[in-house]
Structures are given as structure tokens and as C-alpha cells.
Chain A
Amino acid sequence: MSTLLWLVTVLGGIAVAGWVFRFAGQTVTGNAPRFRDMPYGVAFGYVLGVSILAWAIWYYFQPVTTEQGLPNAGVMFFRWGVQGLIIAMIAAYVFRFLGRLIGTANSKKLFRAMPLTAAFGILTIIIYAIFAIFADAIAPYGQEQIFEQANVLPGGDPALGGDPAHPLGTDQIGRDILSRLIYGAQNTVGIAFATTCLAFALGATFGLLAAVLGGWLDQLLSRAVDVLMAIPSLIFALLLMTIASVWASEWGIPLTIFMVVIIAVIDSTRVFRLARAVGVNIVVMDYIEAAKLRGEGMGHLIFREILPNATAPLLAEFGLRFCFVFLTIAALSFLGVGIQPPLADWGTMVRDLAPFINFAAFAPLAAVTPLLAAGAIALLTVAVNFVVDWMLHRSSGLKE
């Protein structure tokens, strides 16, 4: 209850300070329009923002060990977070700066109008791609390699239970966590990418086909998609995975392949909707009519006439769809029915390492690894979303 009381006091203080700030501004500047017309809410917002900023700076410079000699984990995590944010901002800024200097005239122009968030997103995606493609060369050990010492803490300091050979420690059966994180980029992102491509191939083909042909095929496909979309996707995926797990053990096919197909089919329904909607608008254009009169075949119509004009919305959808697929796979793996061991995978790693979070107060380093795996998932989806957001903003020409 004291926490609540404290919170109310602080908020009340800020509320009073907001009023004082506006009044002081009006008096000192002799009723300048900026202060005269300032709504109370804005004044409150300014004071709240400044208070939060001041608190953050004060907290950042708190000592990292308490008086009893225990590590002050909250401050440590906060510092890491702030440092990570600053490094990310600098990296994005440098990347955008380089992009403006190097490259063709077109790419320079692209970089000049790019917001920092989009630059950060593109940089992150490039780094993930490099890790995913060259995982074998970058990772210090194999993903299935088991070492003698299990549960080595991260940090590489023997005094704190670390080991210089394993900078991020080892997991509960002694596999190197750094290597598994790097291989996770290959497995988790690679599988999600393949699934999205499959979902797109299915959804876009059938969607455009339904748009071009119309009639009973369109009706049949659209109603089937309606029914599939009426079942929540994660729930449906879990149900189908239950069934697939029986099949997988019966036929000796890895469960991961079933997962790819199941998620691709479920997600292709969303792609179908969009592709059909976009396609129907394009089909009525004059140039399609002209192509039909020329006697072009179905393949030419779909892939040479319609698809090029539907690229922009489909590309943005690809980014969003990738995020959904990636998060679904991560959630399934986290629940224990997704990507199966011994493949290294971030969702599974989070589940396996999560209990270490409870030791954060005594050994802050122990809690880092599960958060790193979860953060790796979050960072990629955030990056993709930043890029998609920018692309949508650009293509819609929205200024507000």
C-alpha cells in the first residue's frame, strides 16, 4: 500500500509543479503566447517528461553494489539497457550517414529521407542475415556440442562462476550458449523465412487466381478462407501440431517440417485475402483487358501484368507476415511443440533458461541469457516493423 501512496504523492507533486511551471512561465516572460495559450495538460506533460528524465539520469549513476556488498541488479540492467539504446542510435546514425555518402544516386536519395528508426531496422536485418548465413563460421562451437561443465554463468569471470572459453556460459546440459544463440539465427529465422515464403507462394497464387477467374472458384476459396480465419491462428496451429505429432512419430518425418507446412497454410489465408483484394482492383484496369484481348495466357496475366502492380502492398505484407510467422514459431517453440531439439532455437532457449531470472537479485549475469534469447526475437520483429512502417508511410504519401 505504501507503494501506492508514494505513487499518488509523486503524481500530485508533478501536477502542482505543472501548474507552477506554467504560472512562472507566464509571469517571467510577461505572458508570451507560448505560455499564455498553454493548456494545463501540456504543462503537466512537460514536467512529467523532465521528472522522468531526471529520475533516469539519477538512477543511471547509482552505485552498482549496495552497502551490504550485494550487486544492485536493477541499476546494472538499467545501465545495460541505456548503453544498448545509445549504441543502437549511434550505429543507426552512422549507417544512415554512410548510406548517404556511398552508393548510387538512387540509394543516396533513399537514405536522405530515411528516419532513424528505419535505418536502425535495415541495419539490424542485415546483421541478422549475416549471422544466419555465416553461423557455421562465426559460432565458436557446434550447436549440439556438449561440454563437461553445465550451467556455467555468463561473463567469463572464473571468480563469478564463469569460464573464459564460454563468454555467455553453458546451458543446463552443457552446450555453449553463445554458439546456440548464433545458430538460433540460422534455425529460427531461416525456418520462419522459409515458412513465410511458402505462405506467400500459396496465398498470393490462389488469391490472384481467384481475382482473375472469379465465379465459383473464387466463392469456394473465399468461403474456405473465411472458415479457416474464424479459428484463432495460434489455437489452430496448436491443435494441428497435436495431430501432426502423432503422424510425425508414425511416419518418421521431423515435426519441424509439419510445423512449417501447418503455419504456412494458416498464414496463407491472410495473404490470400490481401492478394485477392488487391487483385480484384487491378483486374478491372484497361491494360488487363488489353492483355486479355491480345490472347495472353493465365500465367502471363498473373505474373507479368498483375503481380508487378501488386508488389508494393504485397511487399509490406511480407514484412508483417514474417513477423507474425516468426512470433508464432517462437511461441510454439516456447510452449514446447515447435522447433525440436537438438536444433538450437530461441523460443526453446527462453523456456529452458527462464528459471535463471529468479536469481537476478544475487547474480544479475545469470538472468541475462534468457533475456538475450527473448530479446533476439523481439529485436528482429521490432526492426522489421520499423522498416515496414516506413515503407507504408512512404507509399501512402501520408504527411500527418
Chain B
Amino acid sequence: MQNVLKIILQRLALGLLTLLVVSIVIFIAVNLLPGDFAELILGQAATPESVASIRRDLGLDQSMVTRYFSWLGGMVTGDLGTSFAQLNFQTNLGGTGGKTVAEQIAPRFANTMFLASVTAMIAVPLAVTLGILAALYRNTVFDRVANIATLSSISSPEFFMAYILILFLAVLNPIFPSLSNIYEGMTFGEKLEKTMLPALTLTLVVTAHMMRMTRAAIISLLASPYIEMARLKGISPMRVIVKHALPNALAPIINVIALNLAYLITGVVVVEVVFVYPGIGQLFVDSVKIRDIPVVQACCLIFAAAYILLNLMADILSILSNPRLRHPK
């Protein structure tokens, strides 16, 4: 157990280091911008005095290293800065108390997590079941149809799936609403109903990949001697797969599930835009369009952190599910 703990701690440290380097990359990328934020914010109204004053407010007159550490410090303590759009609003109208980036992101982040977890609840059991079935009935009509269907759904763009679902489940047969306008104070049931179509779209996209990997992981084991033995003992094919093959195929399956969840966190962007779902992806795209750098920066870091974290989890879980690593010689 000592050894596993050491490996896991190593991975965690590596993950943190990656996150730190990624934050530097994001920071430098943003700072490559010609001119600076002050001119960008003020646009036409830039006078030397106002530019200088905004620069002082944003701390742009300090060196890049200082700014990086103060930005990083803010990120860690939850102070993500003030969005340009909100700042602009404040300076132009003389209002006070604009929303900070953290206040803007927090509710949307919760919404995105809700969408991702609903999708995971549907997709993971479905994918594993279908994958086991496809491995069990390999090379039959079911397997062929599943192969073509999953390959098609992997390769279609998300918005194609989304609009097909809108057409059939919202416009022609009004079962679910096509706009997912979620706001505070909705009951869980209402929220679930509004989230259903985006969740189904994402399910279609991720299930296909997970199912193919589950099938491949199980089939690659079926040629091994112990499976042959189990078969010769006269155990039913279902039992051979579930009791004998599945535990050994668990590591790659867990890995691909975690990777797909990581994809879910980032793949939500397009789907959220299609369904006007008030999540972090939508905020990100809107901020990209109006070049609201602090929000873009913060969203980017959150996405990267989620992605790294889930990849890390995939890594650790596959170590834990591998007895050879748990009990090294």
C-alpha cells in the first residue's frame, strides 16, 4: 500500500505542476496582445489620462512577473478579477458594485456541473451495458448495427445531433423544451426537464466512444487461456463476460469513462450554445466574442483544471484497479 500511495502522490504533484505550467501558458498567451487592456477597454474614448488611470487600477504598470503572481494568488483565493464588460458598464454609467468574474462564473459553473452529471448518470450505465452486449453478441447483426451507429454518432458534429434531437423531440413531438433557460428557484424536476435535451445530445456523443472501448477491452481478453477455461467449464457466455472478463477489463474502461467525462466538461461549449443553456461554456463563448479577457482567462483555467483533474483521476483509478501495481514484487 505504501508504494501505491507514493505513486499517487507523485501523480498528484505532477498534475499540480501541469496546472501551474498551463496557467503560465494562458497568462503569457493573453499578455501577447498588442497594445494593452486599458486601450482595449476604453476603445475610442482613450485619452492618455484615462488610459493611465485604468492601467493603475488594473495594475498594468507593474512588471509581468508581479502581475502573474498577483493573478495566480487571486485565482487560488477565488478572486478572479472584474470582467471588462462589467467594468466598462461601471465606468460609463458611473454605477458601483459591478459583478466580479467569480460572481458571474459561480452559478453558471453549478449549471454546467448539473448538466454534466445528468449526462454521466445516463451515459455511463448505458455505454457499459451496450458495450457488454456488443462483446457478447459480437459479429451478429446487433454488433454490426451498433458499430455503424456508434461510428456515425462519434463522427457527427455535436450541433448536428442537437438539431436532429430538437427537430424530433421538441418541434415535431413536443416532449422536451428546446430552450434550456434555467434560472434560480426552479424545482429539481423542472430543471431536469429543461436539461434533458442537451443531456441527451451529450449522451449520444460520449456513449458511442465509451461503448466501443468497453467492447474492445472485453474482446481483447476473450482469447486468453483463463477465459477459454471458463468456457470449457460450461459457464454461460454472459457469466464468462461479466464474472471473468469484465474485472480484468475494468482498468481501460474506467480510464475511457474518465476521459469522456473530461470531454464532457469541455464538449459542453457547443451544446450549451445550441440550447442557450446558461452554463460556463456559453459564458466563455460570449466573452470570446466581446474579447472580455479576464473572463476568458478564468474560464480557460477552470476548463483546463477540470480536464487535468479528470485525467489525473483516470490515471489514479487505473492504478488502483490494477493488482499488479498494487502488489509490486
Which A residues are within 8 Å of any B CB, using their own CB?
3, 39, 41-42, 45, 49, 73-74, 77, 117, 226-228, 230-232, 234-236, 238-243, 245-247, 250, 323, 327, 330-331, 334-337, 347, 350, 354, 357-358, 360-361, 367, 370-371, 374-375, 377-378, 381-382, 384-386, 389, 400
- Check A235–B300 contact: CB distance below 8 A: yes
- Check A235–B167 contact: CB distance below 8 A: no
Q: Which residues of A contact B73 (CB under 8 A)?
A: none
What is the CB-to-nearest-CB distance from B236 to chain A, in angstroms, rounded to a whole number? Answer: 7
What is the CB-to-nearest-CB distance from B129 to chain A, in angstroms, rounded to a whole number? Answer: 11
| 8 closest residue pairs by CB, A with B | A232-B266, A378-B156, A381-B155, A374-B160, A385-B155, A235-B303, A74-B172, A378-B160
Does B106 sit at the interface, judged by CB under 8 A? no
Max count, chain A CB within 10 A of own CB: residue among B157, B238, B267: B157
Q: Which residue of B lies closest to A336 (CB)?
A: B289
Q: How far is the CA of A330 from the CA of B139 in the complex (A)?
A: 34
Among A49, A73, A232, A334, point to the contact of B270 (Cβ < 8 A): A334
Does B120 sit at the interface, judged by CB under 8 A? no
What are 11 contact pairs spanning A and B, CB under 8 A?
A: A41-B133, A74-B168, A230-B307, A231-B25, A231-B300, A246-B35, A336-B285, A370-B163, A377-B156, A381-B157, A386-B151
Within 8 A of A (CB), among B191-219: 219
Q: How far is the CA of A234 from the CA of B268 in the complex (A)?
A: 11
Does B166 sit at the interface, judged by CB under 8 A? yes
Q: Which residue of B lies closest to A379 (CB)?
A: B156
- Check B172–A243 contact: CB distance below 8 A: no
- Check B34–A246 contact: CB distance below 8 A: yes
Q: How far is the CA of A264 from the CA of B301 in the complex (A)?
A: 22
What is the CB-to-nearest-CB distance from B49 to chain A, in angstroms, rounded to a whole number? Answer: 23
Task: Take A117-B148, A377-B160, A381-B155 as given contacts and tell me if A239 and B291 are in contact as well, using a CB distance cutoff of 8 Å.
Answer: no
Task: Take A230-B308, A374-B160 as given contacts and tell me if A240 and B29 are in contact as well, using a CB distance cutoff of 8 Å.
Answer: yes
Q: Which residues of B contact A386 (CB under 8 A)?
A: 151
- Check B160–A235 contact: CB distance below 8 A: no
Task: Take A39-B238, A246-B33 as given contacts and tell me if A234 and B266 are in contact as well, using a CB distance cutoff of 8 Å.
Answer: yes
- Check B171–A334 contact: CB distance below 8 A: no
Max count, chain A CB within 10 A of own CB: residue among B141, B159, B270: B159
- Check B157–A377 contact: CB distance below 8 A: yes
- Check A238–B25 contact: CB distance below 8 A: no
Task: Take A331-B157, A335-B270 as given contacts and tell me if A350 and B163 are in contact as well, using a CB distance cutoff of 8 Å.
Answer: yes
Q: Which residues of A contact B139 (CB under 8 A)?
A: 400
Q: Which residue of A lies closest to B164 (CB)?
A: A371
Within 8 A of A (CB), among B1-34: 18-19, 21-22, 25-26, 29-30, 32-34
Q: Which residues of B contact A357 (CB under 8 A)?
A: 163, 166-167, 171
Task: Take A323-B155, A360-B172 as given contacts and tell me if A45 and B142 are in contact as well, using a CB distance cutoff of 8 Å.
Answer: yes
Give the number of residue pairs across the A-B interface with Cβ within 8 Å: 168
Q: Which residue of B lies closest to A250 (CB)?
A: B34
Q: Which residues of B contact A337 (CB under 8 A)?
A: 288-289
What is the CB-to-nearest-CB distance from B149 to chain A, in angstroms, rounded to a whole number? Answer: 11
Which B residues are within 8 Å of any A CB, using their own CB?
18-19, 21-22, 25-26, 29-30, 32-35, 40, 133, 137-139, 141-142, 148, 151-152, 154-160, 163-164, 166-168, 171-173, 175, 178, 219, 222-223, 236-238, 262, 265-267, 269-270, 273-274, 284-285, 288-289, 291, 293, 296-297, 299-300, 303-304, 307-308, 311
Q: How far is the CA of A396 from the CA of B164 in the complex (A)?
A: 35
- Check A234–B291 contact: CB distance below 8 A: no
Task: Take A39-B236, A235-B284, A238-B285 as given contacts and tell me if A245 and B291 are in contact as well, using a CB distance cutoff of 8 Å.
Answer: yes
Known pairs A3-B175, A234-B270, A242-B288 / 19 extra A-B pairs, C-beta < 8 Å = A117-B148, A232-B265, A235-B266, A235-B269, A239-B30, A243-B33, A246-B35, A331-B270, A334-B270, A335-B269, A335-B270, A337-B288, A371-B164, A377-B157, A377-B160, A378-B160, A381-B157, A385-B154, A386-B151
Task: Take A242-B291, A360-B171, A361-B172 as given contacts and tell me if A230 and B22 are in contact as well, using a CB distance cutoff of 8 Å.
Answer: yes
Task: Take A117-B148, A247-B34 as given contacts and tell me if A334 and B159 are in contact as well, using a CB distance cutoff of 8 Å.
Answer: yes
What is the CB-to-nearest-CB distance from B257 to chain A, in angstroms, rounded to a whole number? Answer: 17
Q: Which residue of A lies closest to B262 (CB)?
A: A232
Task: Take A230-B308, A242-B293, A335-B269 as given contacts and tell me if A375 and B160 are in contact as well, using a CB distance cutoff of 8 Å.
Answer: yes
What is the CB-to-nearest-CB distance from B164 to chain A, in angstroms, rounded to a whole number? Answer: 7
What is the CB-to-nearest-CB distance from A40 to chain B, in angstroms, rounded to a whole number? Answer: 10
- Check B236–A73 contact: CB distance below 8 A: no
Among A3, A226, A400, point to the contact of B138 (Cβ < 8 A): A400
- Check B40–A354 contact: CB distance below 8 A: no
Q: How far is the CA of A49 from the CA of B146 in the complex (A)?
A: 13
Q: Which residues of A contact B19 (CB under 8 A)?
A: 230
- Check B303–A232 contact: CB distance below 8 A: yes
What is the CB-to-nearest-CB distance from B127 to chain A, in angstroms, rounded to a whole number? Answer: 18
- Check B29–A335 contact: CB distance below 8 A: no
Task: Take A357-B171, A381-B156 as given contacts and tell me if A232 and B138 are in contact as well, using a CB distance cutoff of 8 Å.
Answer: no
What is the CB-to-nearest-CB distance from B137 to chain A, in angstroms, rounded to a whole number? Answer: 7
Q: How far is the CA of A234 from the CA of B205 in the complex (A)?
A: 16
Q: Which residues of A contact B158 (CB under 8 A)?
A: 331
Q: How far is the CA of A84 from the CA of B178 in the complex (A)?
A: 26
